[in-house]
Amino acid sequence: MSSLKKVALWILFFLAIVVAIIACIFQVRYGNKDSMPCVFCDIVNKTRDADMLYMDEDFIAFKDIKPATSNHFLIIPKRHIANTNSLTIADKDMIVKMKLIMLELLKKHNQTIENEISLGFHVPPFNSIKHLHLHGISPKSEMKLIGRWIFKEDSYWYKSVDTIIASLIENS
């Protein structure tokens, strides 16, 4: 192969990678519009089943389908909120409420040891489902290596509920 052809191939290869990266960024930024189907809204609307734990006017809680430990629950607002980036100080009370309901649920399941409880959110683009959900996990020490990474508190991808509350206050 002539060196000119080699250079052309490399340029093509490079361009393909650039296009793929741009496509990924767009997917992350614009891929999940509110009009698109949302698994958690389906659970709220009862068109999809979940292992329900709690329900009130504003929230529902259910078991995570891929539990990282023996007690792994999710609580979501019934109203579709995309992620933690959509939150403002006006949502602070809602987040505090979610935290309290989750602690109550864990207590019902005999999970009361503070250092064993993880309460947190995945932050975009690491939120697999684009509907705000608070994870409640206990006992933490039971988690496997992969779980310890996915739910590594105050990493780039997973923020504790208290960190989120503090940042809402700070940015208000």
Catalytic machinery residues? 135
Question: Of residues 50, 103, 117, 122, which one binds Zn ion by CB under 5 A?
Answer: 122
Residues that contact Zn ion, how many (by CB under 5 A): 6
99 near Zn ion, rule: CB under 5 A: no
How far, rounded to the nearest angstrom, does the alpha carbon of residue 14 sit from its chain's CA centroid? 33
Reported in sequence order, the residue ranges of 50-170 that DSSP labels E, i.e. its strands, are: 52-55, 59-63, 71-77, 118-122, 134-138, 158-160
Reported in sequence order, the residue ranges of 12-124 that DSSP labels E, i.e. its strands, are: 52-55, 59-63, 71-77, 118-122
C-alpha distances (whole Å) from 76 to each of 79, 118, 152 are 8, 16, 20
Give me the 53-92 binding string for Zn ion, x by CB under 5 A, dash otherwise.
---------------------------x------------
43 near Zn ion, rule: CB under 5 A: no
Residue number with CB closer to Zn ion (80 or 92): 80
Binding residues (CB under 5 A) for Zn ion: these are 38, 40-41, 80, 122, 131
